Structure 1
Amino acid sequence: MKGVLLVNLGSPDSTDPKDVKKYLGEFLMDERVIDVPYWFRSFLVKGIILNTRPKKSAAAYQKIWWKDGSPLIVLSERLQEKVQAKTDIPVGLAMRYGSMSLKKGMQELYDKGVRDLQLIPLYPQFAMATTETIVVLAEELQKEFFPDMKITDVPAFYKKPEYIKALSNSIKEYLADKDYDHVLFSYHGVPERHIRKSDITKSHCKPEIAGEASCCNTPSKAHEFCYKHQCFETTKNVIAELGWDKEKVSTSFQSRLGVDPWLQPYTDRTIVKKAEKEGIKKLAIVTPAFVSDCLETLEEIAMEGKHEFLEAGGEEFYTVPCINDNNEWVNVLTGWINEFNNEQLSVNN
């Protein structure tokens, strides 16, 4: 029997600092998130971060928490429900971190008789700390607990025309009645070393170059796993789909942690620069690294980013919602699922 498992990042169970600490501990101890030797990661996370950050993060979560719970969880559940309503095969939902674990999601589908699983990480662009960690954990769980389950994972879909069209239309719809001077595409940041580690050629990617480097536009096998290239390609594909002037659009990276160099330009600095140096008065921000609105979009961008922009002299600040449970996006996902289902049917026939 075939089945589908949608997988998103995850969330604390509540805004209580204890729940946030538990969640951060699992998240930050992932070797693909903080990719340093275990002893140092343990010292950094358990000895420093978890003794200082949970209260601050809990306060941030409190600002954006919905009546029904975590926005990311609620929106992911809405997406799952809409997709399930359009297909006959079981569609499950799991999170890489938190109580809605990947193992629990796989077990629920296994108990329904699913032995042929389509795994869909809800990340348009590939990264060690997103797609890779989900796929690797799913494979480990399959070997240990579900040896008779076959897993087929959906790779990064940043350039699939149907996704780009759905994303572009959702952006267009939101901005239709807005007056803006510039659009900033803000992607979640990753350390430069993650790009080097993901470079299968070991020589192509140049993550230390701020902005879009020449390597991003030079054809290479490295692009299959290069987060930086895929982010810039997403921006370019949306610009092309909407027919925008590329001079009025830029790309940046948010949410850096620690002192190591991360992908640049940084979103917070870019927001200030747009207002102070470039005279942009009305700024719109799109966050295409996220399928569902979450702490990084609702608090870091919509609240902190807006404050920084207005303080720097800006006048209007628009945060474009993520694609969330947009009906066109639901149809795109359903199409991929039905394609998977039909391929299996043709093989069996």
Structure 2
Amino acid sequence: MAKGVLLVNLGSPDSTNPKDVKRYLGEFLMDERVIDVPKAFRTFLVKGIILNTRPKKSAAAYKKIWWDEGSPLIVLTERLRDKVDALTSIPTVIAMRYGKPSIKQGLQKLHDKGVDEVLIVPLYPQFAMATTETILVLAEELRKEHFPQMSFTSVPAFYNHPDYVRVLSESIKESLEGVDYEHLLFSYHGVPERHIRKSDITKSHCKIDGQCCQTASKAHQYCYRHQCYETTKQVAEYLSLEEGTFSTSFQSRLGVDPWLQPYTDRTIDKMGKQGTKKMAIVTPAFVSDCLETLEEIAMEGEEIFHEAGGKDFHVIPCINDRDDWVKTLARWIDQWAVVETEMA
């Protein structure tokens, strides 16, 4: 059997044109695992309200961070693919859950190379309905309809994998070298609280009460909140951070339903008003820098901090296409290929 790898990231509009942004947002927000309400209400909310107001604002935000080569997220994922592909003999292609290249296009490219055994690598350290789950569900639907001869294996959430923790920690350490800061904020992408409860395979453990994430449970295999806090904990241990010098928050909330707290924007504002003058921030829910890191955090976050009285705001880049991350991915791919070959 011929093996191949599909690296899957979130996605991006084709350009900063409001029409392209509207098309991208429509695909993204109509996903039932992103806005998990009945389809009729989701259609009304997205097509009747959001897509009539948000595309222009989002397009303006994308213009602030767009590169000459294109979308930062796409460009960085391509660079990662190229470097990984150079270190392994297994063909590696990229796909985006929303936008282009689509997962179907990625699978077709592997199919055209004669691949019938695919390792799917969702480029998300933590599991969530709106990220890893939606990728795997769509991939399986496409397999059944278009690629029945293919078999899939997926890389599980790697938030606590020693290799990932080391890469993330070293990236933070390098970025903070020579930087004077008082507090390090770990900002993760937010999700609605109901997503945590829906992902609870025990149907009883996740209460979001401050204790459940610290209490051992099978639910943690799919609990985004637990996995975020565990990432922070393990990185803090690796870097020997002192209690009180770091914390965790959640960004990018949408709508009026309760999302995971504390919220990043309010945390930044509060810290500035309470006298913190120098802070650093890292975004471990993202492998590649994107709108949420380059604009929401690096631009809006800094503005909030300065308006609240803060002075120095240091943003730590995502791990992107770092050499140690590239080598880690290549090693995981080679290990999978060896195991699959031995089992064949």
TM category (shorter chain) comes to over 0.9
Which residue pairs with 2:31 in the alignment?
30
User: 1:326 deviation in Å?
Assistant: 0.6
Within 2, Cα distance between the matches of 1:131 and 1:51? 28
User: 1:17 deviation in Å?
Assistant: 0.1
Gaps of 5+ in 1: none
User: 1:25 deviation in Å?
Assistant: 0.1
The answer to whether structure 1 residue 342 and structure 2 residue 343 are counterparts is: no
Q: What are the residue-to-residue correspondences of 1:1-349 with 2, within 5 Å?
A: 1-207=2-208, 209=209, 213-277=210-274, 279-348=275-344
User: 1:347 deviation in Å?
Assistant: 2.1
Within 2, Cα distance between the matches of 1:338 and 1:39? 45
Structure 2: which amino acid aligns with 1:201? T
Within 2, Cα distance between the matches of 1:127 and 1:14? 27
SS at match of 2:250: strand
Structure 2: which amino acid aligns with 1:270? T
With the length of structure 1 as denominator, give the TM-score of the two structures.
0.98
Within 2, Cα distance between the matches of 1:344 and 1:36? 39
SS at match of 1:85: helix
SS at match of 2:87: coil
Within 2, Cα distance between the matches of 1:223 and 1:341? 27
Within 1, Cα distance between the matches of 2:50 and 2:221? 33
User: What is the percentage of aligned positions where both structures have the same residue?
Assistant: 69
User: 1:128 deviation in Å?
Assistant: 0.2
Within 1, Cα distance between the matches of 2:167 and 2:253? 28
User: 1:344 deviation in Å?
Assistant: 1.8
Structure 1: which amino acid aligns with 2:309? G
User: 1:246 deviation in Å?
Assistant: 2.6
SS at match of 1:6: strand
Within 2, Cα distance between the matches of 1:204 and 1:184? 27
Within 1, Cα distance between the matches of 2:74 and 2:257? 30
Structure 2: which amino acid aligns with 1:26? E
SS at match of 2:287: coil
Within 2, Cα distance between the matches of 1:157 and 1:166? 12
What CA deviation, in whole Å up to 9, does each residue of 1:176-214 have, x standing for no partner?
Answer: 11110000000000000000000011111123x4xxx11
Structure 1: which amino acid aligns with 2:134? T
Spell out structure 1 runs of 4+ moving beyond 6 A: none
User: 1:119 deviation in Å?
Assistant: 0.3
Within 2, Cα distance between the matches of 1:156 and 1:325? 19
Q: How many residues align?
A: 343
CA RMSD of aligned residues (A): 0.6
Structure 1: which amino acid aligns with 2:343? V
Within 1, Cα distance between the matches of 2:341 and 2:31? 37
SS at match of 2:244: helix
Within 2, Cα distance between the matches of 1:345 and 1:224? 27
User: 1:99 deviation in Å?
Assistant: 2.1
Structure 1: which amino acid aligns with 2:125? P
User: 1:138 deviation in Å?
Assistant: 0.4
With the length of structure 2 as denominator, give the TM-score of the two structures.
0.99
User: 1:160 deviation in Å?
Assistant: 0.2
Structure 2: which amino acid aligns with 1:290? F
Structure 1: which amino acid aligns with 2:38? P
Within 2, Cα distance between the matches of 1:299 and 1:214? 33
User: 1:317 deviation in Å?
Assistant: 0.1
Structure 2: which amino acid aligns with 1:119? I
User: 1:346 deviation in Å?
Assistant: 1.6
Within 2, Cα distance between the matches of 1:347 and 1:39? 46
